Amino acid sequence: MVAKTLQEFDVELDKLHMRGQWQYDRLLEQVIGGPKPAGVPYVWKWEEVYPKLVEACDIIPESYTARRNFSFLNPGLERGGTTHTLLIGMQMIKPGELAWAHRHTIAALRFVVRGNERVYTVVDGEVCPMHAYDLILTPRWSWHDHHNESDHPAIWVDVLDLPFVIGLNVPFYEPYPGDRQQVRRSSEAEYIQARTGALRPTWERPKERHLPLRYPWVDAEAQLKRLAKLEGSPYDGIALEYVNPINGGPAMPTLSCWIQMLRPGEETKSHRQTSSAVYFVVRGEGKTIVNDEELEWKQHDTFCVPNWAWHRHVNRSRSDEAILFSVHDIPMLQAFDLYYEEPENSIRARPAPLVPPVPEKSEK
């Protein structure tokens, strides 16, 4: 009997829905050199997005049932998503509108573009006012409804870990019984958020996750200004993370949110990370060079940096700062020891400043 060739044997196995390990050797040859970035770098221009949002207000007269939201889809990803784990988009809500309450296992956040005191999201019974550039979390499985009780349209950026949750096949969803959820109105002291500062009730065990629900822009901007004179990160300038004040970790278990200042004329060094990111330009003008592609951006543009793509940022202005808000999937990778950077570890690599030396006693 003539011996089977390996190729014939592989075909037989394939019919039985099995595959020999030796086949992976061939596969591995293709992946040598590390991950290939998933999707492409891309910019969604405010000047193209904004008129479409305005148009959507006429074409979709109510945001009552659905959210009047556009997702920004990476032209290089067949499965959808802005990166392979993150989805960013924009939402507009007209005066008097309500986007009714629901919850899902997809974690989300809102970064406000246009808002005011009478625009708010209710998250698990807590009212979160939406002023321009505030960050509001709507954590996994939290009830959330959006309200615009003001006379002006409101716009915000939505970021979700949707591709990640779909990838793990855990997309639960539930509408609230009724359009708006009950609010803890009697006193702000009842809010979980009132317990996230440096002074906390001695009689309660603190809630440990998904806190606070709202990071006001006034605090973020003040902290950027306070630290602007520092050297900062060679790769990201003055990049600050919105952290959970209880455990010091990321704002949500899958999403790390950053606010970052590039000083006038600042050009960062290039690096790559196994994480991917989406960016929203708060203000300023510049470019981010991703591999060989130059992403030109200005105020209110949105862009993405795929995983394991070399990237650096340039603030083109000699006189003005550029401010970027970004969301990274770093915690997803760190949870499983899959977070790497090249050419060096830069995130949290440096120790905090030392106590200044005590001067020697002078002889009198």
What Å distances lie between residue 190 and 99, 113, 126, 247, CA to CA? 24, 28, 9, 21
Determine if 311 is a binding residue for ligand 1HN (CB under 6 A).
no
Shortest gap between Cβ of 158 and ligand 1HN (angstroms)? 4
Shortest gap between Cβ of 163 and ligand 1HN (angstroms)? 10
Among 355, 257, 337, 325, which residue's Cα sits nearest to residue 113?
325
Amino acid in the structure at residue 18? M
Residues 42, 46, 69, 159: which binds ligand 1HN (CB under 6 A)? 69
Nearer to ligand 1HN, 89 or 232 (CB): 89
Tokens of 17: 């829905």
Site string for ligand 1HN, 90-129 (x = CB under 6 A): -x-------x--------x---------------------
The interface with ligand 1HN within residues 124-183 (CB under 6 A) comprises 144, 146, 158, 160, 162
Q: Candidates 6-14, 63-71, 194-202, 267-275 — which segment interacts with ligand 1HN by CB under 6 A?
A: 63-71
Nearer to ligand 1HN, 183 or 228 (CB): 183
Residues 67, 114, 118, 312: which binds ligand 1HN (CB under 6 A)? 67
State the number of CA atoms in the 13 A half-sphere of 283 facing the CB.
8
The interface with ligand 1HN within residues 177-236 (CB under 6 A) comprises none
Shortest gap between Cβ of 89 and ligand 1HN (angstroms)? 6
What Å distances lie between residue 305 and 83, 138, 162, 168, 293, CA to CA? 8, 23, 17, 22, 11
Nearer to ligand 1HN, 146 or 300 (CB): 146
* Strand partners for 287: 296, 314
The interface with ligand 1HN within residues 315-354 (CB under 6 A) comprises none
Shortest gap between Cβ of 51 and ligand 1HN (angstroms)? 20
Shortest gap between Cβ of 132 and ligand 1HN (angstroms)? 18
Q: How far apart are CA 356 and CA 282, in angstroms?
A: 36
Nearer to ligand 1HN, 67 or 118 (CB): 67
Amino acid in the structure at residue 118? R
State the number of CA atoms in the 13 A half-sphere of 210 facing the CB.
14
Helix (H, G, I), strand (E, B) or coil at 87: strand
Nearer to ligand 1HN, 38 or 160 (CB): 160
Nearer to ligand 1HN, 90 or 261 (CB): 90
* Strand partners for 91: 69, 156
**Site size with ligand 1HN, rule: CB under 6 A:** 12
Dihedral pair phi/psi, residue 142, rounded to 5°: -95, 140
Q: How far apart are CA 228 and CA 150, in angstroms?
A: 34
Nearer to ligand 1HN, 252 or 262 (CB): 252
Q: How far apart are CA 254 and CA 241, in angstroms?
A: 14
Nearer to ligand 1HN, 108 or 347 (CB): 108
Shortest gap between Cβ of 147 and ligand 1HN (angstroms)? 12
Q: Are 97 and 65 in contact (CB under 8 A)?
A: no
Tokens of 264: 């006038």
Which sign, positive or negative, has the C-alpha torsion 250, 136, 306, 73?
positive
- Footprint of ligand 1HN (CB under 6 A): 67, 69, 71, 89, 91, 99, 108, 144, 146, 158, 160, 162
